[in-house]
């Protein structure tokens, strides 16, 4: 049975599934039906951060144009340009056993492509969620359904998988920003 997390809630992966090393982060959303004249294109990015809170190196910035780390420890499963998938719209596979030892956090950010130009924001998006799944069994372990009204935000940090005291935890973040992907790259480098 999956844990339903609220904003700020945490799931201790090391405690609840101590032998699991392969994690799938599935994300989903629906456009509210607002007609901006252009389809919504939401994009998932993952920033592999070190203890400093900065990207460990360029290999640990995962997005649609760089879908995986060289060793396959983090793999973006594909860019869904319409958000009309049944189930998860986009996903990220993580193999914790292959993850670089200096990565202490995987920050999961979703941005709206060309949001300003297209006059789109997360107030026009509903049913957003992030879920953590055991990649070997397909069993959902934790889910966070975002319920905030992000009326002007163009990016949202959905969640964070992080290491603390040798244990992996997942945090439901749900923080909205008026930024684009390039702004996050600047902030994390």
What domains can be seen in the chain, in order of their start residue?
A: 3-188 (2.60.60.30)
Q: Could you read off the pLDDT of 66-112 as tens digits, one per residue?
A: 999 999 999 999 866 555 556 899 999 999 999 999 999 999 999 99
DSSP E strands, the chain: 3-5, 10-12, 22-31, 42-49, 61-62, 74-76, 90-95, 105-112, 125-134, 140-145, 155-164, 167-177
Is 13:20 a contact under the CB 8 Å cutoff? yes
For residue 151, the model assigns a pLDDT of 84
For residue 33, the model assigns a pLDDT of 66
- Average pLDDT of every residue of the chain: 91
Is 165:174 a contact under the CB 8 Å cutoff? no
For residue 40, the model assigns a pLDDT of 84
What is the CB neighbour count within 10 angstroms for residue 25? 25
Checking if the pLDDT of 35 tops 70, the result is: no
How far apart are alpha carbons 26 and 86 in whole angstroms? Answer: 12
Average pLDDT in the 131-145 region? 96
For residue 34, the model assigns a pLDDT of 65
Checking if the pLDDT of 19 tops 70, the result is: yes
| Pair of tokens at residue 131 | 């879920």
* % of the chain beyond a pLDDT of 90: 74
Bigger pLDDT: 122 vs 36: 122
From 36-40, 86-90, 135-139, the region with the lowest mean pLDDT: 36-40
């Amino acid at each position: 049975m999956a844990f339903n997390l609220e904003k700020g809630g945490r799931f201790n992966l090391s405690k609840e599934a101590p032998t699991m090393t392969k994690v799938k982060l599935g994300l989903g959303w629906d456009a509210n039906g607002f007609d901006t004249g252009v389809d919504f294109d939401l994009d998932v990015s993952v920033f592999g951060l070190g203890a400093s809170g900065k990207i460990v190196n360029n290999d640990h910035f995962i997005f649609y144009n760089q879908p995986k780390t060289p060793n396959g420890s983090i793999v973006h499963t594909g860019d869904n340009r319409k958000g009309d998938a049944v189930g998860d719209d986009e996903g990220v596979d993580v193999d914790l056993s292959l993850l670089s030892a200096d990565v202490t956090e995987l920050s999961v950010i979703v941005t709206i492509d060309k949001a300003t130009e297209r006059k789109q924001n997360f107030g026009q998006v509903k049913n957003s969620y992030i879920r953590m799944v055991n990649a070997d069994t397909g069993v959902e372990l934790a889910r966070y359904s975002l319920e905030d009204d992000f009326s002007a935000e163009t990016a949202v940090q959905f969640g964070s998988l992080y290491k603390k005291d040798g244990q992996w935890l997942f945090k439901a973040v749900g923080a909205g920003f008026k930024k684009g992907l390039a702004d996050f790259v600047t902030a994390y480098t």
